[in-house]
Amino acid sequence: MIIIRMNKAVLEETFNITLKKRIGPLNTVDAQLYNNNTYVYRFSKPANEAAAKLEIKIAEAAAKKGIAPKISNALYKNGILMFRMEKMHGNLEELTRKFKDLDFMGTVKDLIREFHSLKYCHKDIAKNPRNVLYKINQDGSISLYLTDFTTSSIKNSDCRDITQLNYRDLPMGKSERRIIAGNWYTLPTLGGSPRTPRTPKTPRTPKTPRTPKTPRTPKTQRPLVLPKTPGTPKRRLFLKIPRVNNL
Ligand SMILES: Nc1ncnc2c1ncn2[C@@H]1O[C@H](COP(=O)(O)OP(=O)(O)O)[C@@H](O)[C@H]1O
Ligand SMILES: [Mg+2]
């Protein structure tokens, strides 16, 4: 078996990129992750090309559904699979260290159910809260996402993602803080209106049609002035034009 080494220099050369800070577990034998200010780069060595293609397909389908980081590039080269993806704020284990009273299990189940609706089984989620990522939204709510689809495959009746789901080692409580499965703006607010922050902005701009008000007054005044002196300016104009043409 050929062992592909994944040191930083090899990764940078293979994918023609510059990598900055390494994140995630540093002694891992699976993936290597780097944080590049805007994106997270994830490198792994799938068993073969078919496995790499399936992982890309699953990760992209989950991202499209809004339940996994958005992917801006996915490449399989020299036996290495690279994902360049949306940077989240961390994983669920880290989140529960930050807020010890969160009531997150229901949302984790919803997240997995949404993934199952794509007809895939994750297979490394039931006992692994580090494969759940989080992002704190603008309104203070928290969005949860799935990641690490290395072991995922087409779902069959043997899928144990939910039946064996157990994060009992994580601190949890009954906080009222809103926790959402996936992208926050796809969900309605508590009041029922869509949570897209752009919608209120657009109606505001066309609200200033004040211009028609001002032209009204000069329009009525002008006809009153103009009929008073209709002849004189016309004559002057006729006199001026031939002078210009002569020059
Ligand atoms: N898009 C991301 N944004 C922020 N952190 C991430 C992202 N993807 C992964 N991580 C971090 O890296 C860790 C390992 O990522 P993962 O894809 O699960 O690789 P591994 O195969 O090593 O388990 C995650 O638990 C999380 O802390
Ligand atoms: Mg993982």
Query: Could you report the per-residue pLDDT of 16-66, keeping only the tens digit for each?
Result: 999 998 987 766 667 899 998 889 999 999 999 999 999 999 999 999 999
pTM comes to 0.77
**Domains: count for the chain:** 1
For residue 153, is it within any domain?
yes
- 56 vs 73: CA distance, rounded Å: 10
pLDDT computed for residue 229 by the predictor: 45
For residue 85, is it within any domain?
yes
Answer yes or no: is the C-beta of 125 below 6 A from any ligand 1 atom.
no
pLDDT computed for residue 232 by the predictor: 44
For residue 23, is it within any domain?
yes
User: Which one of the ligands is nearest to 83 CA?
Assistant: 1
Burial code of 59-87, b = ≥16 C-beta within 10 A, e = fewer?
Answer: bbbbbebbbbbebeebebeebbbbbbbbb
**Phi, psi (deg, nearest 5) at residue 126:** -60, -35
Answer yes or no: is the C-beta of 85 below 6 A from any ligand 1 atom.
yes
Tell me how far the alpha carbon of residue 31 lies from the centroid of ligand 1, in angstroms: 8
For residue 137, is it within any domain?
yes
User: Terminus-to-terminus CA distance in the chain, angstroms?
Assistant: 93
* pLDDT, mean over the chain: 83
For residue 230, is it within any domain?
no
For residue 175, is it within any domain?
yes
**Phi, psi (deg, nearest 5) at residue 28:** -70, 150
SS3 181: strand
For 180, how many CA atoms within 13 A lie in the half-sphere containing its CB? 23
Pocket perturbation via mutation, ligand 1, pick of 32, 41, 42 by most ligand atoms within 8 A of CB? 42
For residue 239, is it within any domain?
no
Question: Which residue intervals of 36-176 are DSSP H helices?
Answer: 49-64, 92-98, 105-116
Tell me how far the alpha carbon of residue 119 lies from the centroid of ligand 1, in angstroms: 23
For residue 121, is it within any domain?
yes
User: Which one of the ligands is nearest to 31 CA?
Assistant: 1
Answer yes or no: is the C-beta of 74 below 6 A from any ligand 1 atom.
no
Regarding predicted confidence, which is higher, 95 or 37? Answer: 95
Find out whether 39 and 86 touch, Cβ atoms under 8 Å. yes
- Residue numbers of the domain that contains 107: 8-181
Query: Could you report the per-residue pLDDT of 196-218, keeping only the tens digit for each?
Result: 454 444 445 555 555 555 555 44
CATH code assigned at 52: 1.10.510.10
